[in-house]
């Protein structure tokens, strides 16, 4: 298909923010570029309304279910800006002949950096100290050092490996659980392999680095929390659906979990009365882990390349289905 006959929908809110040339290059390559009319990820109904007549779709964290694709008769490719595809109905895409791609590794450093920041903020009680001083209270709170502590990585993909690389110079012992990564591959990066229960029992900080699947949804439940070292911290820079919110609140309330830092939530944005958002032992950010200048530029470049490759009839590098 001639690219000049193609219409491409672009919805990620940070696309081209650090490098406006991505917009210019995409507009020069195809017939029409349609921008996200809302400053947020789109609902299924909003996606459905925009897809008729669209051939390529560079997608953010939109809901792309069967209903969203119902009128997408011309759609050839969904190029996910990021790695997660849990919001894309892959079975429906496959049945309709729609190629789905992603951008693996593009934001690994950015997410690992925020994970490290969360580790320091939790252990040194930075947010609490900041709030107290801003409120006029001079309270020199006691924190804990990361040196000599154990970091448990649940999942050992690109982001977890980068997190291990950043944490090692701090003098931390690092253990990891991932049934799809060999023990030899972990040891090669000076990481100790473990089963999940062993990791939870040993770790002072538990950091989640998993996709959402039927097996991992609500992985952090009452049982998971009960197996954690008492007072350990929990970090989630992956996906909100990995956590049973009620179980985490209960664990925080009884002190089993010493604190949590969350960048992703089951519902985004979370409701204002969310007990997690209000909890004094929780640090929250609005799903910004991958939103650094370099990560956005790399994800944008990869997503554009994948989208255009499929529209030209070439084989994409990072095909999911």
Instruction: Encode pLDDT of 145-154 as tens digits.
Output: 999 999 999 9
Structural contact between residues 281 and 293, judged by C-beta atoms closer than 8 angstroms:
no
91 and 149 within one domain? no
Residue 46 located in a structural domain:
yes
Residue 172 located in a structural domain:
yes
In this prediction the pTM is 0.87
188 and 121 within one domain? yes
Indicate the SS3 state at residue 241: helix
**Arithmetic mean of pLDDT over the chain:** 96
Which of 55, 87, 161, 287 does the annotation list as catalytic? 287
Count how many Cα atoms sit within 13 Å of the Cα of residue 297 in the half-sphere of its side chain. Answer: 8
Question: Band of the pLDDT at 5, cuts 50, 70, 90?
Answer: very high
Residue 320 located in a structural domain:
no
Structural contact between residues 31 and 5, judged by C-beta atoms closer than 8 angstroms:
yes
96 and 137 within one domain? no
Average of pLDDT values for 114-128?
Answer: 97
Structural contact between residues 206 and 152, judged by C-beta atoms closer than 8 angstroms:
yes
pLDDT at 227 exceeding the cut of 90: yes
65 and 129 within one domain? no
Q: For residue 43, which of 66, 15, 64 has the smallest C-alpha distance?
A: 64
54 and 203 within one domain? no
Residue 59 located in a structural domain:
yes
Residue 317 located in a structural domain:
no
90 and 119 within one domain? no
102 and 114 within one domain? no
pLDDT at 241 exceeding the cut of 80: yes
97 and 164 within one domain? no
Q: For residue 307, which of 102, 141, 69 has the smallest C-alpha distance?
A: 102
Number of domains present in the structure of the chain? 2
199 and 131 within one domain? yes
pLDDT of residue 258: 98
Rounded CA separation 25/22 (Å): 5
Domain that holds residue 305: 3-106+293-312
pLDDT of residue 301: 96
Question: Band of the pLDDT at 198, cuts 50, 70, 90?
Answer: very high
Residue 133 located in a structural domain:
yes
Which of 27, 230, 268, 317 does the annotation list as catalytic? 268
175 and 301 within one domain? no
Inter-CA distances, 60 with 69, 195, 207, 303, Å: 15, 33, 24, 10
pLDDT at 1 exceeding the cut of 80: no
Average of pLDDT values for 263-281?
Answer: 94
Rounded CA separation 17/300 (Å): 9
Percent of the chain with pLDDT over 90: 94
Residues found in the chain = 321
Q: For residue 207, which of 187, 228, 180, 237 has the smallest C-alpha distance?
A: 237
Instruction: Encode pLDDT of 43-99 as tens digits.
Output: 999 999 999 999 999 999 999 999 999 999 999 999 999 988 999 999 999 999 999
308 and 186 within one domain? no
Which of 113, 209, 239, 306 does the annotation list as catalytic? 239
Average of pLDDT values for 10-20?
Answer: 92
pLDDT of residue 291: 85
pLDDT of residue 89: 98
Q: For residue 3, which of 307, 297, 302 has the smallest C-alpha distance?
A: 307
pLDDT at 240 exceeding the cut of 80: yes
255 and 125 within one domain? yes
The CATH number covering residue 201 comes to 3.40.50.720
pLDDT at 128 exceeding the cut of 90: yes
161 is catalytic: no
268 is catalytic: yes
Rounded CA separation 37/17 (Å): 16
Query: In the sheet where 99-101 sits, what is the strand order?
Result: 32-35, 7-10, 56-59, 77-80, 99-101
Residue 276 located in a structural domain:
yes
Q: Report whether the peptide linkage leading into residue 269 is cis, meaning its omega lies within 30 degrees of zero.
A: yes
Residue 217 located in a structural domain:
yes
């Amino acid at each position: 298909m001639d690219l000049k006959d193609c219409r491409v929908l672009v919805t990620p809110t940070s696309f081209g923010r650090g490098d406006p040339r991505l917009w210019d290059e995409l507009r020069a390559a195809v017939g029409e570029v349609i921008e996200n009319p809302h400053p947020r990820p789109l609902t299924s109904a909003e996606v459905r309304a925009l897809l008729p007549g669209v051939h390529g779709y560079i997608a953010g964290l939109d809901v792309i279910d069967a209903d969203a694709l119902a009128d997408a008769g011309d759609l050839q490719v969904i190029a996910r800006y990021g790695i997660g595809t849990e919001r894309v109905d892959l079975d429906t895409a496959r049945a309709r002949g729609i190629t789905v791609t992603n951008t693996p590794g593009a934001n690994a450093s950015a997410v690992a950096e925020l994970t490290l920041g969360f580790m320091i903020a939790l252990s040194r009680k930075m947010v609490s100290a900041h709030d107290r001083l801003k409120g006029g209270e001079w309270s020199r709170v006691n924190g804990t050092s990361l040196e000599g502590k154990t970091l448990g990585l649940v999942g050992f993909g690109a982001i977890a490996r980068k997190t291990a690389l950043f944490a090692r110079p701090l003098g931390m012992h690092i253990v990891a659980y991932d049934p799809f990564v060999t023990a030899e591959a972990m040891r090669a990066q000076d990481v100790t392999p473990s089963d999940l229960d062993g990791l939870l029992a040993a770790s002072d900080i538990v950091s989640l680095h998993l996709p959402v699947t039927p097996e991992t949804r609500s992985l952090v439940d009452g049982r998971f929390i009960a197996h954690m070292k008492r007072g350990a911290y929990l970090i989630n820079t992956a996906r909100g659906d990995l956590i049973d919110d009620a179980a985490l609140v209960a664990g925080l309330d009884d002190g089993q979990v010493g604190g949590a830092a969350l960048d992703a939530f089951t519902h985004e944005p979370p409701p204002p009365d969310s007990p997690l958002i209000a909890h004094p032992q929780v640090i929250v950010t609005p799903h910004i882990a991958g939103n650094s200048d370099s990560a956005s530029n790399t994800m944008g470049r990869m997503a554009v390349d994948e989208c255009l490759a499929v529209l030209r009839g070439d084989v994409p590098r990072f095909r999911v289905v």
